Structure 1
Amino acid sequence: MAISPRNKIDPNFSVSSMTDIIFLLLIFFMVSSTFIQTKGIMVDKPESKTATSEPVIVIISIDKDGEYFYEQERASLQEIESKLALKKRIDKDVSISVNAEKTVPIQKLVNLMDIARRNELKIVLATK
C-alpha cells in the first residue's frame, strides 16, 4: 500500500498581488509629493556634482551685471538685509537660495554670506 501526501506544495509564486501593491505605492508617492517652482530672474547657474536641496523660502538673484534681486525685485544690500531681518522675526527657520550667474565676482556672494551670518540664516548657492 503506497501512501501519498494529500497536500502537495506548489513551487509557483504569483506576483499579481505584488504589482498591485507597487502600483498603489507609486500613485501614493506621486500624489503626495510637492513640485517646487523657483521664483526669481533667469540666470545661467554654475554646475555642481553635490547639489543639496534646502527648503527655499527666500530667493536672491545676482545677474551678470552684478545687480541684486530680492525674489523678482531689484534691491540693494541694505534693503535685502532689512527684508531678511523682518522675515527672520516672522519665521525662525528661514533659508536663502542664491541664484547667481557663473561670471559674478565672488565678492558679491560673500556680501550675501555676511548678511546671512549676521542674521543667523541658512544660505545655499543654487546650481544646475
Structure 2
Amino acid sequence: MNIRKRFRTHPEMHTGALNDILFILLLFFLIVSTLANPNVIKVSNPKAKADTKAKQTVVISVNKDQQLFIGAEPIAIENLESKLQEYLSKETEKPTVVINGDSTSHLGTSIKIMQVIKKLGATPVMAVDQN
C-alpha cells in the first residue's frame, strides 16, 4: 500500500525579475566606469615599446602650453612641491607619481617635476603610449 503523496510541491523562487535588475545594474556600472577617467586633461603621450603600469597615487599632467595639472586642478610649478606634499602625506607605502606629459611639451618641465617628486621621496613614472 502506497501511503506517500504522488505530487509533492517543490518550493521555487522565480528569479526572472531579479536577473533583469542585476543585468541593468551591471550595465549601469560598466557605463559609469568607462566615463570615470582619472586622466581628464587631454595630452598626446610619447610612444615607447612598453606601456607603463604603476599604481597611480597622483597624476600630474603637462599640456602642450606647459600648464601643470594635478588631477584636473591647474597648478603653478612654483606651488607644485607644497601641493604634491599634501597628496603624498596621505599615503602609507611608497607613493608613485605618474607624469602624463604631452609629446610636444618641453623636456625641461618634466625634469623639474621629476626632481620635485624625487625630493619628496616618491617614485616618478612617465606615462607613454605603446607602439
Alignment TM class, shorter chain as reference: 0.5 to 0.7
Runs of 4 or more consecutive aligned structure 1 residues displaced over 6 Å after TM superposition = none
Could you tell me the TM-score, scaled by structure 1's length?
A: 0.66
C-alpha distance in 2 between matches for 1:110 and 1:82: 17
* Cα displacement string for residues 86-106 of structure 1 (whole angstroms, at most 9, x for unaligned residues): 222221432111111111111
Q: Specify which structure has the bigger relative contact order, considering alpha-carbon pairs within 8 angstroms and separated by 6 or more residues.
A: 2
C-alpha distance in 2 between matches for 1:101 and 1:87: 23
Aligned residue number for residue 25 of structure 1 = none
Work out whether residues 61 and 70 of structure 1, in 8 Å CA contact, stay in contact via their aligned partners in 2.
Answer: yes
Aligned residue number for residue 89 of structure 1 = 89
What displacement does 1:78 show? 3.0
Work out whether residues 48 and 128 of structure 2, in 8 Å CA contact, stay in contact via their aligned partners in 1.
Answer: yes
Unaligned runs of 5+ in 2: 1-33
Asked if residue 100 in structure 1 is aligned to residue 101 in structure 2, the reply is yes
Question: Alignment RMSD, CA only?
Answer: 2.0
Aligned residue number for residue 6 of structure 2 = none
Secondary structure in 2 aligned to 1:40? coil
* Cα displacement string for residues 7-37 of structure 1 (whole angstroms, at most 9, x for unaligned residues): xxxxxxxxxxxxxxxxxxxxxxxxxxxx894
- Listed as ranges, the matches of 1:1-128 within 5 Å are 37-92=37-92, 93-128=94-129
Q: Percent identity?
A: 22
Could you tell me the TM-score, scaled by structure 2's length?
A: 0.65
C-alpha distance in 2 between matches for 1:40 and 1:115: 22
Work out whether residues 45 and 128 of structure 2, in 8 Å CA contact, stay in contact via their aligned partners in 1.
Answer: yes
Work out whether residues 64 and 104 of structure 2, in 8 Å CA contact, stay in contact via their aligned partners in 1.
Answer: yes
Alignment: residue pair count: 95
Matched to 2:75, the amino acid is A
Work out whether residues 52 and 126 of structure 2, in 8 Å CA contact, stay in contact via their aligned partners in 1.
Answer: no
Matched to 2:96, the amino acid is S
Unaligned runs of 5+ in 1: 1-34
What displacement does 1:113 show? 0.7
Matched to 1:89, the amino acid is S
Aligned residue number for residue 14 of structure 1 = none
Work out whether residues 62 and 99 of structure 1, in 8 Å CA contact, stay in contact via their aligned partners in 2.
Answer: yes
Secondary structure in 2 aligned to 1:90? coil
